[in-house]
Each structure stands twice: as structure tokens, then as C-alpha cells.
Structure 1
Amino acid sequence: MLILVASHSMVYGQVNLPKVFSDSMVLQRGVDIPVWGTSNPGNQVTVELEGNRVKTVAGQDGKWILHMPSMQAGGPYAMRVYEGSQPQLVNEFKNVLIGDVWLASGQSNMEWQVEQAMNAEKEIKNAHYPDIRYFNVPHDKNIHAQSDVLGGSWEVIDSASVKTASAVAYFFARQLHIELDVPIGILQATWGGTPVEAWTSREQLLSSSITHDRILRNDLITANHFVKDSLNLVRFWEIVYNSQNKTDKIIPKRGFDDSKWAELTMPVTLKDMDMPSYQGLVWMRKAVSIPSSMGGKELSIDLGHPEMNYTLYFNGKEIAKNVWNAEPIHHYSIPAKLVKKGKNVIAVRIAFLWGGGGFNPPAEEMYITDGNSRVSLAGSWKYQKDLEPAIPMINNYHRYPTYLYNAMINPIVPYGIKGFIWYQGEDNVAAAHDYRALFPMLISDWRIRWRQGYLPFLYVQLANYMESKSEPSESDWAVLREAQTMTLAQPNTGMASIIDIGEADNIHPKNKQEVGRRLALLAEKLVYDKSVQAYGPLFQSYEIEGNKIKIKFSETGSGLAVRGSGQLKGFAVAGKDQRFYWADAVINGNSVVISSGKVKNPVAVRYAWADNPNSNLINKEGLPAVPFRTDSWDTAGKE
């Protein structure tokens, strides 16, 4: 019997499809549907879907591909796969829908989950959309292009599955599903902290002088490097999350002697401290005087905005531990039994990683309170580094050119899709000028691979982020946003500006609902020919009129407007000396007239040109004006 079973497996078990084909999948409507896989060379493969049967034969390399006839939206159906000249059923995929499939990719802001978004509890509770499905490609990296992903299967959106889905992609899919009344599938391939080069193929990157040499240098890397890096990564997080050398038993105590430690004023971040490139664990201590009115009471402590990975102690006892994936609340209760009248000691073990560390301003958000009185935690703190083992070096191969393309994109080509949505760029800010070439390269690369023509490519422009500047200044983030705007010159592309919904102290702004909505507006207009206003005002042209400059906009919708009350903000003007000053700005029809008493002969205007601009020009549909400049002077953003 065992011999018979084994024989049957050899004859009828040789047809394999990639994991992207599973129960509950969504297949693309309106196109000949690609289905592919492997089998024994010369073996006949037949696929059946809703009365249509298509046959093919596996090549000498064992690979096969066929295309099912185009279908309209609908389902559920079953897709059956047979093998042999006398077809034998080898696989059946159930609950299959025909609709529109979008590939959602990028770094952490596309990866950010629904459970991490604004109003997460409500969104999860109301997520009952059986005609929205998603497939999450697992994190993987590889030197060579792969034919399949590590794992995964299509999930039907409900209150359980939606929690870990991409928030931006889900809100995008939800609006399209409601507006179009067709099934929507999301292929999610995301990884936080990754540059655009990681998602681009080797062949494409070799064609650019920006990346050519890096690609060739990487040819020395072998699979063994990945193994070693993985071992170091385990040790890395073990040290980050767990105190070493019993420091947690000694340093947090009230009587610990920190008199020889260095001193600094908090809040302050790593870049403003004396260790600009340090990576490791830092211990920080502060003695605070608790008044008698607060002694012996349960208190609340608010640390403001520290880095994500830290442990908080009060008078020697651990109060809280915050790790990378935790919800960053940063305020905790201190049990009454720990609170002493007079001197108390706060200790924080904090990980300084990837150029970050310390406490971000403002100072007024660092305090201890009993609900009536406050004791500030700003001011003098003691700190000491290198009290624990050094963190192992991690090569972060997921950031290397082409490795994510190889393992996470190539395996899902040529799955039938409607288009792409993309949210990435933060990791390329340090060399923002290069993004002008690298981003269009990725778009072209993916379109070539899918062979579906100029597939729609919709993307998110970087949000406002970091501290606002009181005066006009250079900005790498502004240069990256400019590169994104320039990419609109590529055919069939659309850009969602979110310059108005970012957060100064959070690179992952929580309002993913609006990001998804704005991407959906672009899809409705560009892809589905809906009569909607999808853009905020876009710079069109300018004229110098004496001591004023008149800026003309397109995409004004029902008219230009100011968000909130007050005057227009965010415009800066300069003369030939290239020194920018804040400008007075007045709406005049579809134009804005710019002037400044400090610039008698203006030649250039910039708008929202900053990391976190204070800008408020919109159209009456509520969409923000896209940042721009009229000059071509040298800027930041060159590595």
C-alpha cells in the first residue's frame, strides 16, 4: 500500500503553484489571468476556472505558465488544477473572487498595521468586508531572484485578520470597494527602514551610475553572510531588550553613586549630545525632589517622547518596559509604596539605535504628577554609556540593493494586478537628489516585469516631520519630496500629498485613514475615470511683477482657500542673493501673490520647503497644496 501511495504521489503530485495562489485569493478582472508554476518537464497542466479550461506543457526546465480568459468581477469560484494527458485533479482553490488587485509596497509607513493606526479599536471592530482580501508577503531577502515567497496565504478581511494588515492599503481598498462595489485584493510586500534600491532588480540597478558599483561589490556576498547576520541579529535584540552585567539590579537603586557620570540637560536627542554616531545602551539617572504633599501617593510619570526601546525604573524598581513594537504611550503609574518624600531617583535604560537616542522636546511634557501638582523632569540628568556589552554589528542585508526585490517581488511576478500603491522615501532622504533617478527606475522596472503596459503607479509624498524651523532653511526632506513630485512626469502616475497630516515627533503618523483615502481618490480619477478632485493645488507657473511674484496653480478644484483661519503661511521669497524670507501671500483667483518688505527685487519663491513646514494653502475640497520651489539653486539632499 505504501508503495502504491508513493507511486501515485510521483505521478500526480508534481504540479506546484507559487504560494500567492491560495484559497480566498482575488484574481484580476479584465485581463487574461496569468497562472504559473512548476512540474515535471513535458507534463501537461490544465487549469479550470468558471467553465474555462486552458492547457499547457511544462518546459525542459519544469516551468509552465498559461493565461485564463478575462473575466468580469464576481465569485466566489473554484479554480482547479489538473495534470497529465488524462487530467487528474491535483489542486483546488476555493472561495476565489474576481476583482481588482493592487500591489502595496514600501517601507514602514506602508507596513504600519491597522492596530497601530488612529482609532484602531473602532476600525477593527467595524472591519467586516468579505470581498476585500490581502496576501502579506513575509519578510525575506536573497542574493538571487527567487521563484516563490517564504509563506503566506490570502486572508479575508474581518475583525481578526485586519489587525495586522497594512493600514494604508486597507483604507485604500475599503474606499475603492465601497465606491466600485467590486472585490479588492491587496498584495502586501513591505519592510520598514528600507531604501528604494532594495526593491529594484539587479538588471535595472546596473544601468545606473548611482548604483552600478554597489551592485558589483555585493557580488562578493554569499548566503553564509546572511546566516552570520541572523545570529548577530538575535544577539542584538537580546542585549537591547535585556539588561546585561546585572546593571538593572545595581544602577537604578537610590543609593547608587553616579557622581562621576557625565551630565546633560534634557530633553535632548542624540544629534545634540556628545556621541553623534554612538549605537548601544545608555543608562540615565535623575534625582527628583518629591514634596511632602505628594509623598506616599500613587503618581503618574510622563517621559514625553523618548526613543522607543527603553526600561524605566523608580527608586530601584522597574516601572515599565517599552519595546519597538509597543504602543508608544510613555506615561505610567508609580505605585504609592515607592514614592518617598524628598529625594527619589528615576533611572532609564535606553537603546541608542540607528542615529536615535535621548528624549525629544518639548520639555513641558516630561513630569511627575499627582493630578494637582507637577514636578518637572526636564533639566539636569546624569548619563553613562558602555556599561553593558557592545551591540553586535548588523549588516542589515534587507537594506542592500535588489535583495528584497529578489525575495519579495520577483516571486509574485506576473500575478495579475490593477496597479501599484507605494509609500517609501524616508530611507533615501540622506541622498535625496539620487531619488530623482532611483524612484522612476523602480517604476519602470516593475512595469517591465509585469508586462501589463503602463500600470498605474500611485504613491505617497513624505509627510511633514521633525521640529518646525522659525526661519526658511534647507531641508533634505523637502528635496526628497521634490524628487517625488518630479516623478509625476512618468506616465500614468499619481501622488498623494500628506504635508498637512504628519506629526513632528512621529515618523509614523497615525492618520492612515486619510492617506488611504487620498490614494483612493487618485485611483478613482486616474484609473476608474471618476469625476473627483484628487489633487491639492499644484504649482503651474510664475510671473515677476515688480516687487511681487504671482504663482499660478492647477488642480484648484472649487477654488483656492486657507486651512483654518488667518493668513496664508508657508511661502518664502528670495532675491538674487538667494536668502529667503517669509512672505506675505494673498489668494487672487487661481493664483497666489507673494511679496516681502525685505526683498525689493524678488526672483524666487518656495512653498512648504522644510522638514515640517507651517503651511496652509488648500483647495476648497480640503486637499493641501503640494510643496514646490521656483528656483533651481543648489539644495540639501546630496550625500
Structure 2
Amino acid sequence: MKKISSFLLLFVIALALHAELKLPAIFSNNMLLQQNTEVKLWGWADKGLTVSISPSWSEQKYTAKADNSGKWNLTIPTPAGSYQTYTISISDNKSNIIFNNVLVGEVWLCSGQSNMEMPMKGFKNQPILGSNEAILRSKNKNIRLITVKRASSLSPQDDIIGEWTEATPETVKEFSATGYYYGKLLNEMLDVPVGLILSAWGGSTIEAWMSKDMLSGFDDIKLPSSEEDTKIPNRTPIMLYNSMINPIAGYTIKGCIWYQGESNYERPDQYPLLFEKMVSEWRKIWRQGEFPFYFCQIAPYNYASIAPIEKQGGKFNSAFLREAQYKSAQIIPNSGMVVLMDIGEEKCIHPRDKKVGGERLAMMALGKTYGMTGFAYESPTFKEMVIEENKAILSFDNAPMWLTAYGQELKQFEIAGADKVFYPAKAEIKRSKVEVSSDKVSKPVAVRYAFKDFAVGDLFSTEGFPLSSFRSDNWDE
């Protein structure tokens, strides 16, 4: 019996010492690589073996040697994006791997929680507006998709479950609606192939997407130490980072789009600190500098319906979180926020109009990252308030064509005096400014706009971009 056990042990060791040539699943047939740059490839082989890579767009062969643990990595230059397909051959002189139907173009990471994860087919009893027709027309071999399967772990992982596919009705219906509409507009306007990597999990907190090191200094956030601490993995710090970001970090991208915040809405004061730290550290592990990071502000919704029974001092008005996201955009370099005040739904946390969010993200990228001109891509933002007699005069940035309410009465403004009591206000657009007043407030001190859990935004730029909810005060209530 001991001899058999010893033999089995030696057999297992021998297998471990023989590492088959392998790449993580983020590399596969149908993949799309970032154009005009040096892209990183990595994998495993027998230690000491030389791995060679030959892309069909070049006569050059690129090599790397597997280290003592069997890991190897290298970079290869990519050509300008085009609709020509390529192959990539990989060999270690013992075995070969060939990736077929490879494209080169623009690659974006799509991450966050359920509003990013929500597929084109919708959730049960929660439709996506116009999705069936969009799915029907979605066949496009120049849009490539990969979804990182949900996974969680206490320790960093080195691989995922997922594979690249072409956009077809069958694959698009299962893919992020926000991500798909984003990529579709990029592909149309840039006239190059677009690849989208989806790594999202509904209900996830931002700290679930951060590593142990990233959370150092956030003493109130408890890190898991055992499986007992991970019963709700998507709301447990480090769990999603370890399994859904760490294995793909380094796959060369152009930038990232992000839709998350709903699960952190009751902790708005902490959110900009966490968000800035996460983006900064993601950029470090990707080693691509300050790549673009664009995100959706959470849409209005009746969050009171999901608030904990014991609120324990949290700020349970999601307008505070929207404000925190606005602050995040001011402190995170090369970032931008799209506003969704016009598509929120009081009784559903998942707005059905995903095309608006996806295309607003795309317009921001087309303007800020790709330098296209002639169109608007940012919402106006509150600049300052000046008191004139009994009126508050508000001015705004990013409103070169002034403001509009599309001929409707502005109903989302409130005004308060020194007593901090807010009253519904009369608001009138005066070119690029808004005059706010109320018969009940003779000496205005503060103004708020749509600063509620749920409100339908009614103030826009002339180009059609809604203003975020905002306030002129810094009162906590």
C-alpha cells in the first residue's frame, strides 16, 4: 500500500513538473487586440523552455523563456486596426497553439454591478427598451465580446472562465446592454473593430473590486479571512478583484467604462476615496499609465425601498452618492461621468433605457479620448450661486448653447433660508443661468436641484445632456 502511495505521489509530482504550454482564457480564438501599441501576452510552459510567438501581421518572431515556476510573458507590437483577420502561432518546441480569427482595433473593459452586467435580453420582468430589435440587427464580425464568468476567491487567481466571440444575436443577447451600445457606437464612428471585456457582478460593492493592498488604510472595511466571511461574495472586500480582475489585469486595453455605486449609496462620504484608490491601483497593475476611465452616475430610484431597517447614521438619500460620484470625476485624472437623471425609474433600480447610458459613455470617449469634434459630450455642471435680493442666480459650466427645459416648467428646484428648511421653488432659465426663488424664502441661503432619491431631471443643455442633481450647501441632512 505504501509503495502504491509513493508511486502516486511521484506520478503527481512528475505531472506538476511538466507544464503544458497554456495561455489564460482571456486569450482565445476571435479575440481582439489593441491597435498601434505593444500588447502583453503571458502563460505557462515547462520551466526554462523558450516560447515563441509569430503573429501573421509580421514576419518577426517574439520569444520569452519560462521562469522556474513555468511562467512567461512578452509583448508584441500591433498594427493599425483594420477589418483584416489574423492568426497568432505560439510554440515551445514541444507543442503549438494557434489563435484564429484575431482582429486588431480598440479594446475596452466594462465593469461594475448589475446595471453594467444587465444583458441585452434584460432581466426577468425587467426589459431593455428596444432590445429585441437591436439584438436582431446585432450581427457584426467586427465587434468582439468576452464575458468573465462570475467567480470569487479569498486569494488572487490567475485565470478566468470565458471566451471571445463575434457579435451575433445569440452572443449579444447575453452581453451587457450598456457595454454593447457603447461598443456599437465606437465601431460605427471610429470605423475600426472594437473588443469589449465584461467583468461585472450585480449587487457588488466597490470594495469587492479592490485588492487587500488597495484597501489598506480603510480601517472600517473588514477584510475576509476565511470562507465563513464570504457568504455574500459580491459584497465582500477583495473577492471579485481576486477572481475577475487579477487574472485579466495586463490584457492591453484602451480604457475602462464603469457602472457601479448603487450598493454603496448609503456611504457617500467614503465613496470618492475608495473610487480614486481603485482606479489609481487598477492603472498601476495594468501598467498602461492613466488610461481613460469613464463611468455612469447612478440613476434616480426609490432607494428607501431597500434601505436597512436600522439606518445607523447612513445617508440614505442617493443624491449624496451621485454627488460623491461627481466629486470622484473631479479628483480622478483622465476620467469622466455621464449623467442619467432623465432615465431613472422610481420602482426599478435598472433603467430600461440602456442605449442612452451606453451611447453617452461612447460620446464621451469619442470626444475626450479619440479627439472627435463638432458635438457635445458632457453635461452642464453647477458653477456658483449669487444672491440678488430674494433670488438665487445660478450659473453653470459646459453650457455654451445655454440651457433648456424643452418648454416645460422646472419643478425640481428647492430653496432655503438660514433655517435650512427647503421649499419648492420657482425656477426660470435665463440663457445659461437659472433664477430661483420662493415666496416663502425672503433671504435665500441655499438651493438644491433634484436632490432626492427619485426625481425626474428636467434641466438640460441645449444639446440634450441632463444636469446632475446638485446642491449649493454642505448640510448633512
| TM-score > 0.5 by shorter chain | yes
Distance across 2 between alignment mates of 1:589 and 1:409: 46
Partner of 1:207: 217
Q: Is contact 1:568–1:615 with CA below 8 Å preserved after alignment?
A: no
The one of 102, 127, 132 equivalent to 2:138 is: 127
Q: Is contact 1:544–1:602 with CA below 8 Å preserved after alignment?
A: yes
Structure 1 residues 467 and 418, CA gap change in structure 2 (3 angstroms): closer
Aligned residues: 444
Counterparts of 1:98-497 in structure 2, within 5 Å, are 98-116=104-122, 117-149=128-160, 151-211=161-221, 214-215=222-223, 218-219=224-225, 221-222=226-227, 225=228, 395-466=231-302, 476-489=317-330, 490-497=332-339
Question: Deviations along 1:331-380, whole A, 9 cap, x unmatched?
Answer: xxxxxxxxxxxxxxxxxxxxxxxxxxxxxxxxxxxxxxxxxxxxxxxxxx
Counterparts of 1:9-20 in structure 2, within 5 Å, are 14-20=20-26
The one of 502, 510, 519 equivalent to 2:361 is: 519
* Partner AA of 1:55 in structure 2: T
Question: Deviations along 1:75-105, whole A, 9 cap, x unmatched?
Answer: 3100110114xxx551000000001111101
Structure 1 residues 450 and 515, CA gap change in structure 2 (3 angstroms): same
Distance across 1 between alignment mates of 2:165 and 2:217: 38
- What stretches of structure 1 of length at least 5 have no aligned partner? 1-8, 230-394, 469-473
Distance across 1 between alignment mates of 2:303 and 2:333: 35
Partner of 2:429: 587
Q: Is contact 1:32–1:69 with CA below 8 Å preserved after alignment?
A: yes
Give the C-alpha shift of residue 597 in structure 1. 1.2
Pairwise CA RMSD of aligned residues?
A: 2.0
Partner of 1:501: 343
- State, as a whole percentage, how many aligned pairs show the same letter: 36
Distance across 1 between alignment mates of 2:408 and 2:142: 45
More strand by share: 1
Q: Is contact 2:451–2:470 with CA below 8 Å preserved after alignment?
A: yes
Distance across 2 between alignment mates of 1:505 and 1:33: 44
- Stretches (4+) displaced over 2 A: 9-14, 207-211
Partner of 1:626: 468
Distance across 2 between alignment mates of 1:558 and 1:396: 48
Structure 1 residues 467 and 488, CA gap change in structure 2 (3 angstroms): closer
Give the C-alpha shift of residue 32 in structure 1. 0.5
Distance across 1 between alignment mates of 2:360 and 2:288: 24
Structure 1 residues 499 and 615, CA gap change in structure 2 (3 angstroms): closer
Q: Is contact 1:13–1:90 with CA below 8 Å preserved after alignment?
A: no
SS in 2 for 1:587: strand
- Indicate yes or no: 2:372 matched with 1:530: yes
Structure 1 residues 99 and 159, CA gap change in structure 2 (3 angstroms): same
Give the C-alpha shift of residue 209 in structure 1. 3.1
Question: Deviations along 1:409-435, whole A, 9 cap, x unmatched?
Answer: 000010000101111111111222221
SS in 2 for 1:453: coil
- Indicate yes or no: 2:393 matched with 1:554: no
Partner of 2:65: 57
Structure 1 residues 12 and 197, CA gap change in structure 2 (3 angstroms): closer
Distance across 2 between alignment mates of 1:434 and 1:407: 24
SS in 1 for 2:326: helix
Question: Deviations along 1:445-485, whole A, 9 cap, x unmatched?
Answer: 211111111110010001111299xxxxx852100000000
Distance across 2 between alignment mates of 1:34 and 1:71: 14
Give the C-alpha shift of residue 559 in structure 1. 2.1
Partner of 2:36: 30
Q: Is contact 2:18–2:46 with CA below 8 Å preserved after alignment?
A: no
The normalised TM-score by structure 2 is 0.89
Distance across 2 between alignment mates of 1:210 and 1:492: 29
Structure 1 residues 45 and 551, CA gap change in structure 2 (3 angstroms): same
The normalised TM-score by structure 1 is 0.67
Question: Deviations along 1:125-152, whole A, 9 cap, x unmatched?
Answer: 1112110011100010000011111x21
* Partner AA of 2:267 in structure 1: A
Distance across 2 between alignment mates of 1:598 and 1:614: 24
Give the C-alpha shift of residue 551 in structure 1. 1.0
Structure 1 residues 202 and 11, CA gap change in structure 2 (3 angstroms): closer
Distance across 2 between alignment mates of 1:104 and 1:397: 20
Q: Is contact 2:380–2:466 with CA below 8 Å preserved after alignment?
A: yes
Distance across 2 between alignment mates of 1:544 and 1:111: 45
Q: Is contact 2:303–2:316 with CA below 8 Å preserved after alignment?
A: no
SS in 2 for 1:185: strand
* Partner AA of 1:91 in structure 2: I
SS in 2 for 1:551: strand
* Partner AA of 2:28 in structure 1: S
Q: Is contact 2:303–2:318 with CA below 8 Å preserved after alignment?
A: no
Distance across 2 between alignment mates of 1:497 and 1:210: 30
* Partner AA of 2:366 in structure 1: E
Question: Deviations along 1:555-613, whole A, 9 cap, x unmatched?
Answer: 114221003x3322211111111111111111122111111111111111111101111
